[in-house]
Amino acid sequence: MFKRKLTRNKKKNLSKVLKSSYLLKEGIPILKELSFAKFDESVDISIHLGKNKNHSSNENLRGSVKLPYGTGKKIRILAIVSKEKEEELKKAGADYAGGMDYIEKIQSGWIDFDIIVTMPSMMNQLVDLGKILGPKGLMPNSNLDTISIHPEISVKEIRSGKIFFKTDRFGSIHSSIGRKSYSNEHLLENIIVFVKTIIKNKPNSYKGDYIKNIYLSTTMSRSISIDLKVF
């Protein structure tokens, strides 16, 4: 059977992971040592939730959190708004702002954006895009404030570090939490705020251990396990 040969960098990284789990403060610098890419890698978090004993599968969790230092990632925001709101949304930080012109572009296959922010009055036109936007997780949601009577506020919040999260079909949550170039202290604050928000959003009906595991990784590194005691 063919065995894949480990590169020098991979062997070096494996030798650095000496513990089964790390306290958050010590884990962050270890993670940076595991990274060897020449670009500014994303630092990512993976939270594995436990199974709710009262349900046959994990309850879906969806929400948003404002990270103190953002993710460092450029988010492309599309604002679908009324004509008189377009300039205001551009000033607020939207990359694109318009109405039916952008709806028609999406219908033609254009999806060069990461988030749509819109107004309640525009939702009738957007409903027809559900089959396109829904599977990609791009449909605006009032619970996330991406449907708002003040869309300019929503855009400003996203620009200042607000991100969105949801459980996948396995009951896990994955998100970028910053960049390798961030200071250890800034990464620490972002991670704590993120995890505490997940805990705060725990369903009232849930019984048992809510968070089972937390892993950190960079774009190119292997993951490390984080001790849950700090939370």
Domain ranges of the chain: 19-71+162-230, 77-159
Q: What is the mean pLDDT of residues 80-85?
A: 96
Q: Answer yes or no: same fold for 19-71+162-230 and 77-159.
A: no
pLDDT above 90 as % of the chain: 69
| 3-state DSSP of the chain | CCCCCCCHHHHHHHHHCCCCCECHHHHHHHHHHHCCCCCCCEEEEEEEECCCCCCCCCCCCEEEEECCCCCCCCCCEEEECCHHHHHHHHHHCCCEEECHHHHHHHHCCCCCCCEEEECHHHHHHHHCCHHHHHHHCCCCCHHHCCECCCHHHHHHHHHCCEEEEECCCCCEEEEEEEECCCCHHHHHHHHHHHHHHHHHCCCCCCCCCCEEEEEEEECCCCCEEECHHHC
Residue 113: pLDDT over 50? yes
Superfamily of domain 77-159: Ribosomal protein L1/L10, domain II (3.40.50.790)
Q: Which of the residue ranges 57-71, 95-109, 172-186 would you say has the lowest mean pLDDT? A: 57-71
CATH fit for domain 19-71+162-230, picks 3.30.365.10, 3.30.190.20, 1.10.357.10, 3.30.360.10: 3.30.190.20
Q: For 5-63, write each residue's pLDDT tens digit.
A: 545 555 555 555 567 889 999 999 999 988 888 899 999 999 999 866 555 444 678 89
Global pTM reads 0.83
